[in-house]
Structure 1
Amino acid sequence: MMNWEKLLNDSRLGGRAPKAERGRSPYNSDHDKIIFSGAFRRLARKTQVHPLATNDHIHNRLTHSLEVACVGRSLGILAGLKLEEEGVLPAGIRATDIGDIVQSTCLAHDIGNPPFGHTGEEAIKSWFSSKGSEFLRNMSPQEKNDLCYFEGNAQGLRVLTSVENHINEGGMRLTYATLASFIKYPWTSLPAQEGKRPKSDKYGVFTSELKIFDEIANEVGLISREGDDWYCRHPLVHLMESADDFCYGILDLEDGLEMGILSWEEMYEILRPVIPEESVNELEKDMARLSFGRKTPLLRGKVIGRYVEAASDAFIRHQEQYLAGDPTSLIELCEEPVKDSILKAKGIAKSKIFNHPRKIELEVGSYNVISTLLSVMCESAFEWVNTPKNMSFRSKRVIDLIGASTFDPKIKNGDAALSKDYLALRRVVDFISGMTDNYATFLAKQFNGMGM
Structure 2
Amino acid sequence: MTPPFQFYRSLAPWAVHADASRGRLHAETEDKSRSPYQRDRDRILHSRAFRRLQYKTQVFIFHEGDHYRTRLTHSLEVAQIARSLARRLRLDEELAEALALAHDLGHPPFGHAGEEALNASMRSHGGFDHNAQSLKHVTQLERRYAGFDGLNLTWETLEGLAKHNGPVRSPSGYIAEYDFRHSLDLGSWPSAEAQAAALADDIAYNNHDLEDGLRAGLFTLEEVAALPLPREALDEVKIQHPGVSPDRLAPEMVRRVIGRMINDVVAETSRRIEALDPADADGIRAAPRAVVAFSQAMDDANKAVRAFLFERMYRHWRVNRTMGKSKRVVQMLFQLLHGAPQMLPGHWREKAGAPGTPASARVVGDYIAGMTDRFALEEYERLTDPSVPG
What band does the TM-score fall into relative to the shorter chain?
0.7 to 0.9
Question: What is residue 202 of structure 2 aligned with on the other side?
Answer: 245
1:83-141 deviation line (CA, Å, top 9, x unaligned) = xxxxxxxxxxxx4xx11111111111111010111111111122234xxx5xxxxxxxx
Shift of 1:79: 1.1
SS in 2 for 1:318: helix
1:432 and 2:368 correspond: yes
- Within 2, Cα distance between the matches of 1:27 and 1:68? 17
Identify if the C-alpha distance between structure 1 residues 274 and 208 changes in structure 2 by more than 3 Å, giving closer, same or farther. Answer: farther
Compute the RMSD of aligned alpha carbons: 3.2
In the alignment, is residue 68 of structure 1 matched against residue 37 of structure 2? no
1:13 offset after TM fit, Å?
Answer: 2.7
| Counterpart residue number, 1:209 | 178
Equivalent position to 1:443, from 379, 385, 388: 379
Change (3 A) 1:380 1:207: farther
- The answer on 1:153 being equivalent to 2:148 is no
Query: Is the contact made by 1:47 and 1:116 (CA closer than 8 Å) also made in structure 2?
Result: yes
Pair 1:289–1:346, CA change in 2 (3 A): same
Q: Secondary structure at the match of 2:64?
A: coil
Q: Which residue of 2 aligns with 1:199?
A: none
Deviation at residue 444 of structure 1 after TM alignment: 1.1
Report the Cα distance in structure 1 between the residues aligned to 2:29 and 2:267, rounded to whole angstroms: 31
What secondary structure is seen at the aligned counterpart in 2 of 1:103? helix
Cα displacement (A) at 1:177: 1.6
- What do the CA deviations read for 1:351-408 (whole angstroms, capped 9, x no partner)? 1100122211122222321122212322344xxxxxxxxxxxxx2x52537353xx49
Residue of structure 2 in register with 1:392 after alignment: none
What are the within-5 Å matches in structure 2 for residues 370-381 of structure 1?
Answer: 370-381=330-341
Partner of 2:213: 256
Question: How far, CA to CA, are the matches of 1:69 and 1:63 in structure 2?
Answer: 10
2:238 aligns to what? 284
Count matched residues: 364
Cα distance per residue 1:34-77 (max 9 Å; x no partner): 11211111111111122345122211111111111111111111
Hey, what does 1:324 align to over in structure 2? 286
| Separation (CA, whole Å) in 1 of partners of 2:263 and 2:243 | 28
Q: TM-score, normalised by structure 2?
A: 0.82
Aligned partner of 2:373: which letter? D
Letter in structure 1 aligned against 2:116: E
Aligned to 1:123: 117
Matches of 1:253 and 1:128, distance apart in 2: 32
Amino acid at match of 1:175: T
CA spacing shift, 1:249–1:300, aligned 2, 3 Å: same
Of 218, 223, 229, the match for 1:266? 223
Answer with 6-15 or 296-305: which moved more.
6-15
Tell me, which stretches of 5 or more residues in structure 1 are unaligned?
81-94, 134-143, 193-202, 226-230, 382-394, 413-419
1:102 aligns with 2:96: yes
Range that drifts further, 164-173 or 286-295: 164-173
| Distance (whole Å) between structure 2 residues aligned to residue 48 and residue 298 of structure 1 | 21
Q: From the superposition, tell whether residues 398 and 5 of structure 1 become closer, same or farther in structure 2 (CA, over 3 Å).
A: closer
Indicate the residue corresponding to 2:24 in structure 1. 13
How far apart, in 2, do the equivalents of 1:153 and 1:307 lie?
Answer: 25
CA distance in 2, matches of 1:310, 1:186: 20
2:295 aligned partner, one-letter code: C
Note if contact 2:140-2:149 (Cα within 8 Å) is conserved in structure 1: yes
Long gaps (5+) in structure 2: 1-12, 277-282
1:32-431 maps to which residues of 2 (within 5 A)? 32-80=42-90, 95=91, 98-129=92-123, 133=124, 144=125, 146=126, 149-166=127-144, 169-183=148-162, 184=164, 191=170, 205-214=174-183, 217=184, 222=185, 225=187, 231-270=188-227, 271-272=229-230, 281=236, 283-319=237-273, 320=276, 322-328=284-290, 330-331=292-293, 333-334=294-295, 336=297, 338-381=298-341, 395=342, 397-400=343-346, 402=348, 404=350, 407=351, 421-431=357-367
* 1:323 CA drift (Å): 3.5
Query: Please, what TM-score do these two structures have when normalized by structure 1?
Result: 0.72
Question: In percent, how many aligned pairs have the same letter?
Answer: 27
